[in-house]
Amino acid sequence: MYAKGMSVRDIEDQLRDIYGAEVSPALISNITDKILPQVTEWQNRPLDDLYPVVFFDGVWFKMRKDSKVIKVCVYSVLGINMEGKKEILGIWNSVSESASFWTTVFNELKNRGVKDILIACHDNLSGFSNALETVFPKTENRWCIKKYDVAKKCIMEE
């Protein structure tokens, strides 16, 4: 949370609101000071040059920031490497989806060594397709189908 821009006080509030845990700002500072170099190293590690399949998905959270509650989406990017193993390529957060946000994500992946993605799977994320076309023009763009969407469609067709 600290690495993504939350203040120590915001983290303290989040931990209290979500887990009911009372944690001092000093403890949060000590923990972040210890792990932040490892987080930065992980976020900037080199990636493989080719991923056959990469999944892009996000989870929305309510977060307190500057005495306001805002919605933030935390996006995870899961790649399947050439050996068939799953690998989290990165985690990003944003208050909105847009082509510029996704262009930033794709450029970060490219700067860390990804030359090509064969198939990108997502659930019709806003701005995603245009950004993908810009950075990885040969990548096949596929939408994930959620079970409840299929069930809903079947019910509506009957």
**Alpha carbon 63 to chain centroid distance?**
16
- Tell me, what's the pLDDT at 3? 62
Q: Which has more pLDDT, 8 or 148?
A: 8
- Tell me, what's the pLDDT at 45? 96
Average pLDDT over residues 27-52: 91
Reported confidence tier of residue 153, pLDDT bands at 50, 70, 90? very low
Q: Rounded to the nearest 10 degrees, how much is the dihedral formed by the CA atoms of 99, 104, 109, 110?
A: 90
- Tell me, what's the pLDDT at 152? 45
- Tell me, what's the pLDDT at 146? 57
- Tell me, what's the pLDDT at 4? 64
All domains in the chain, ordered by first residue: 8-43 (no CATH), 50-149 (3.30.420)
- Cα–Cα distance for residue pair 106/99, rounded to 1 Å: 10
pLDDT in tens, 74-131: 889 999 999 999 999 999 988 887 889 999 999 999 999 999 999 999 887 778 899 9
CA distances from 150 to 8, 14, 119 (A): 43, 36, 22
- Tell me, what's the pLDDT at 126? 78
φ/ψ region of 125 (left if φ > 0, alpha if ψ in -120 to 50, else beta) reads beta
- Cα–Cα distance for residue pair 141/151, rounded to 1 Å: 23
Residue 129 corresponds to which tokens in the numbers above?
């397709």
